[in-house]
Amino acid sequence: MTSTSDSRDLRAELESLTTEAFRPELSDIDRLATLDITRLMNGEDATVAGAVAVRLPEIAGAIDAVVEQMGRGGRLIYAGAGTAGRLGVLDASECPPTFNTDPAQVVGLIAGGPEAMVTSVEGAEDSAELARADLDALAVTADDTVVGVSASGRTPYALGAVAHARALGALTVGLACNAGSALAASAEHGIEIVVGPELITGSTRLKAGTAQKLVLNMLSTITMIRLGKTYGNLMVDVRASNEKLRARSRRIVALATGAGDEEIERALAATDGEVKNAILVILADVDGPMAARLLEEAGGRLRVALAAVTG
């Protein structure tokens, strides 16, 4: 049970955070017309991209480090509580259908486990020990990257994850939305996106959540670009598991090669529907097995495989 003094200390700490600041000029927001509130909220959201832009060098540095880790077979692991944890789980869950990654390659950990995605798990975010246990269950190694995510930059679960990951030799990234955060300071790569006070005091699922989503999008997407999961800006590692994706696969092959429908169908049939392989079949004039071998030798990078054949 939390003592009165501990409660006072926590309240004082929260009051020092930019993301928790009260905005008296918005104290009558509930009395405004709905359209006026939408304008206010839209204006607030418009500032987030600029706040992210200020930290692009730190973001790029973290991405390059993650790419090096994943190039050695390491995993990208997000760890957070509440909204931050949910955003990490969301980003991780979108990597397999988008980039055809193994579900174990990008992982999202949320304090309290899967149940916490939809319900509050009492006290989970306050447990650094829980973070250590969650990482140990994944058998984290020095080849992995652990990204602690926390709007305040002080959440014990995220701090515990980063501290334990560093002790295990893993690469660490700390993503927070307050300057001078403990989380950013504790990680090898600290990223602080200062979005300022929220429209609704205490609701860091708003601008802070948007900022975290933008940064996590960059971390995963640009890492996958660097790992050869795209060809230019084409999503060539898509796995066609339904009609929409099969149509998308044909369109991507067409955009990459300029080939006609019949040639595209033959190439996809020869490669069991693998888009990257089909592109290589057409552009390098090789058969399906040769395309697979060339891509394996190139570490899955289509440009490298093409260069090996076409020079």
Taking the chain (311 residues) in runs of 10, the rounded mean pLDDT of each run is 55 62 78 95 95 98 98 97 95 93 96 86 78 97 98 94 98 96 97 90 87 98 95 88 87 96 96 94 96 94 93 71
Active site residue 122: no
**pLDDT at residue 23 in the model:** 75
Query: Which of 20, 44, 58, 125 is an active site residue?
Result: 125
Measuring CA to CA, which residue among 150, 15, 121 is closest to residue 7? 15
Query: Which residue is catalytic, options 68, 94, 188, 263?
Result: 94
Q: What is the pLDDT of residue 141?
A: 97
Strands across the sheet containing 145-150: 106-110, 76-80, 145-150, 171-176, 189-192
> In this predicted structure, what is the pLDDT of residue 126?
79
In this predicted structure, what is the pLDDT of residue 74? 98
- Are residues 149 and 165 in contact, defined by beta-carbon separation less than 8 angstroms? no
Query: Do residues 203 and 195 lie in contact, with contact meaning Cβ atoms separated by under 8 Å?
Result: no
Instruction: Give the Cα separation of 110 and 177 in Å (integer).
Output: 18
Identify the H or E element spanning 171: strand 171-176
Task: Supply the pLDDT for residue 8.
Answer: 61
Active site residue 198: no
Asked if 198 and 208 touch (Cβ cutoff 8 Å), the reply is yes
Domains in the chain and their CATH numbers?
Answer: 48-226 (3.40.50.10490), 243-310 (1.10.8.1080)
pLDDT at 244: 87
Q: What angle do CA 159, 12, 193 make, to 5 degrees?
A: 50
